[in-house]
Amino acid sequence: MKEALKEKIKQPEFTAPLLVLVVFLAMQVAGVAVNNLEEGNIFIALGIVQLLAIGLPCIAYYLLKGRRLEEPLSVIPKRGPQLLFLLFAAVFFITGSLLIKFFYFVYDIDASATVNIYNTVFAENSAIRHLEVILSLIIIPAVCEEILFRGILFSEYRKHGTANAIVISALCFSMFHFSATEFPVYLFAGLLFGFTAAVTRSVIPSVALHLLSNTLNIYGSDAFLRNTVNTNGTYFVGFLLIMVAALAFILLLSRVETVCHGYAEKPPVEAIPPKSTQGFGKVFLSPSFLLLVVAFLVITFLV
């Protein structure tokens, strides 16, 4: 009985959410310290905080797991028909994100906190300031978060089905940002990042998309959308975004078929991943994941 229990708590569906929970708590504690800093030091501190609060738990988890994840992704993406796939994924991501924010704008939901906070920094027009922003708010978050959510979490859950791995990593990624209003934006991004990692079988393309996401968030996709709507009208912009997003999605799916056909000719794996329906309960009803959800709700709505 004890041996069975020990074996159960070593399974990724139990350990992976605990890793995310540790990162949640570390980021919250570090956030208190950052908020007490002077404005001039805040960006450097944010970069250091993310490296420590995300990087150290990931390293510790990897070592505790015996330097072996369940089904790790490749660091270097495979060569082949992936460039167009990534291009269409980027277009779909941009138009899809703008479409979600379009509905936020139409229904007057404020989801532009990041841009509003740093407007004063951009007003300084300082090259050093912009470099600090690029490092601490674009590059470091993209790399650290993708290592956590797609590099570790997705890889740990993939044995329970690719769809489960994509969804659970996207949910954890969305909860990581502790925002109820922006949850759909992060969920869409997380799903596409996970889908990209699954198709390319590498974490690098998802890092590239994440860099694009952070750049758009920091440098004014909200302002661009608002100006476009005010200039061209709500219905026209909404129709245009829907059409372009739909076209990009169709082209994206067509490239998935081409990429997977290349894998079929020379498959890099010997076994087909299991159906996600078989592992649904283990993934989404595990005690540690439910504890993670409770922590997200408490921190988001009560703290």
Work out the average pLDDT over 6-18: 82
What is the pLDDT confidence band of residue 120, given thresholds at 50, 70 and 90?
A: very low
Residue 298 neighbours by CB distance under 10 Å: 10
Q: For residues 193 and 205, what is the distance between their CA atoms, to the nearest angstrom?
A: 8
Work out the average pLDDT over 168-182: 94
What is the pLDDT at residue 43?
77
Work out the average pLDDT over 249-275: 75
Indicate the Cα dihedral angle 50, 174, 223, 32, nearest 10°.
-40
Given a cut of 50, whether residue 113 has pLDDT beyond it is no
Q: For residues 73 and 302, what is the distance between their CA atoms, to the nearest angstrom?
A: 37
**Which of 6-15, 145-154, 245-254 is the least confident region?**
6-15
Phi, psi (degrees; rounded to nearest 5) at 202: -150, 150
Query: Considering the entire predicted model, what is its pTM?
Result: 0.90
* Residue whose pair of structure tokens reads 């007057």 in the numeric block: 108
Given a cut of 50, whether residue 182 has pLDDT beyond it is yes
Indicate the Cα dihedral angle 118, 124, 125, 129, nearest 10°.
-60
Given a cut of 50, whether residue 115 has pLDDT beyond it is no
Work out the average pLDDT over 101-126: 64
What is the pLDDT at residue 38?
63
Q: For residues 173 and 20, what is the distance between their CA atoms, to the nearest angstrom?
A: 9
Work out the average pLDDT over 242-263: 88
What is the pLDDT at residue 298?
93
The structure tokens listed for 74 are 């490749």
Q: For residues 253 and 68, what is the distance between their CA atoms, to the nearest angstrom?
A: 32
Q: For residues 13 and 281, what is the distance between their CA atoms, to the nearest angstrom?
A: 10
Host H or E run for residue 39: none
What is the percentage of the chain residues whose pLDDT exceeds 90? 49
Q: Do 248 and 112 meet the contact criterion of CB atoms below 8 Å apart? A: no
Domain that holds residue 121: 2-301
Residue 185 neighbours by CB distance under 10 Å: 20
Q: Do 192 and 93 meet the contact criterion of CB atoms below 8 Å apart? A: yes
The structure tokens listed for 15 are 């350990």
The structure tokens listed for 238 are 């909404």
Given a cut of 80, whether residue 30 has pLDDT beyond it is yes
Work out the average pLDDT over 141-149: 96
What is the pLDDT confidence band of residue 119, given thresholds at 50, 70 and 90?
A: low
Q: For residues 87 and 301, what is the distance between their CA atoms, to the nearest angstrom?
A: 37
Cα torsion angle, 67, 145, 140, 212, sign: positive
Given a cut of 80, whether residue 45 has pLDDT beyond it is yes
Q: 205, 96, 29, 161: which is closest to 169 by C-alpha?
A: 161
What is the percentage of the chain residues whose pLDDT exceeds 70? 83
Strand partners, 74: 202
Q: How many domains does the chain have?
A: 1
Mean pLDDT of the chain: 85
Q: For residues 274 and 271, what is the distance between their CA atoms, to the nearest angstrom?
A: 9
Q: 153, 120, 111, 96: which is closest to 43 by C-alpha?
A: 120
Q: Which of 32-41, 42-51, 133-142, 217-226 has the highest mean pLDDT?
A: 133-142
Given a cut of 70, whether residue 9 has pLDDT beyond it is no
